[in-house]
Amino acid sequence: METSWINRDLYPFESRFLEIDGHRMHYLDEGEGAPIVFSHGTPEWSFGWRDLVKGLRGQYRCIAPDMLGFGLSDKPLDGDYSVRAHARRLEQFIDRLGLDQFHIVGNDFGLSIGLHYAIKHPEKIQKVSFFNGWMWPLDTDPHYARAARVMRTWLGRLFYLRFNFPVNFVMPAAFGDKRKLTPEVHRHYKQALPTPGARRAAYAFSAELLDAGPFWGDLWQQVHILAEKPCLIFWGMKDAFVPPYELEKWEKALPQAQVIRFENAGHFVQEEEPERMVEELALFFKSL
């Protein structure tokens, strides 16, 4: 993928690639120390972690893959873009890098993709942190199901594939302070999904809101495994897409977790409050 459109002042990292299931996955691997694996959601890619990586790479090894179909990874037209497949590929990715005793940070769809590994391999995970995401079935919640059903129609497909709906419409609406989604930052999400064919992974996630219930339900039944790990939860309280009432489920399931609420941030907390997140993550990972 041609990358001359990337502003290297914003994203000053070396690109690395691993072949997983016959396709190239792009990732960042910056710094030294205890590893942190960042697991992104939609319509994101490793660009969204840039400020956290820049702030933490002096103390930690920051590893941020682009899920297949996103960012600078391959975008096969026939790719399996289910949450289950992304989780399986992330597991292979982590194993290929030989990671052990590391931390996980995830959000949105990437939350369950990353925590799937933590639940399957708790002996390899030290601490977990996440924000504005879920790990339970959504198909019975009208807040998600109603929109997901619209996306299944010809009109929803048109909006996603032709007009890049999640980047051009959802992302601006998801910011608590819309001024923080500057045109230059927004451009990096637009150009990472430049054509209808490149947007299939993002579109597949809209179907997963209804279809991935069994995957999430199985993970949620094992959430007690995470209750044994130190956990830091961030939450953007102005998130209109994953509402604050979802935070209550996490607090009940993980009573040991430290919770930091950002009253004026929306869904993409790492874009709106990166300095505070770097500060809190550095303290959290350093503490015993």
Look at the block and give the residue holding tokens 């997983």: 20
Helices (H) and strands (E) in the chain, counts: 13, 8
| Distance, CA of 234 to CA of 208 (rounded, Å) | 24
Q: Give the pLDDT confidence of 32-60 residue by residue, as tens digits.
A: 999 999 999 999 999 999 999 999 999 99
**Using CA atoms, how far apart are residues 63 and 71, in angstroms rounded to an integer?**
15
**pTM for this model (two decimals):** 0.97
User: What are the tokens at 276?
Assistant: 């505070």
Please report, as a single letter, which amino acid is at residue 128: V
Q: Band of the pLDDT at 2, cuts 50, 70, 90? A: confident
Q: Which residues are catalytic?
A: 108, 239, 267
Q: Is 205 exposed, middle or buried (0-12, 13-18, 19+ CB in 10 A)?
A: buried
User: In which band, very low, low, confident or very high, does the pLDDT at 277 lie, cut at 50, 70 and 90?
Assistant: very high
Residues contacting 171, CB < 8 A, separation 6+: 43, 181, 186, 189, 268
pLDDT of the residue at 260: 98
Please say if the pLDDT value at position 288 is more than 70: no
Give domain limits for the chain: 16-137+215-286
Cβ(52)–Cβ(278) under 8 Å?
A: yes
DSSP-derived secondary structure letter, 22: T
Closest CA to 117 of 96, 138, 132, 140: 96
Q: Which CATH number applies to 16-137+215-286?
A: 3.40.50.1820
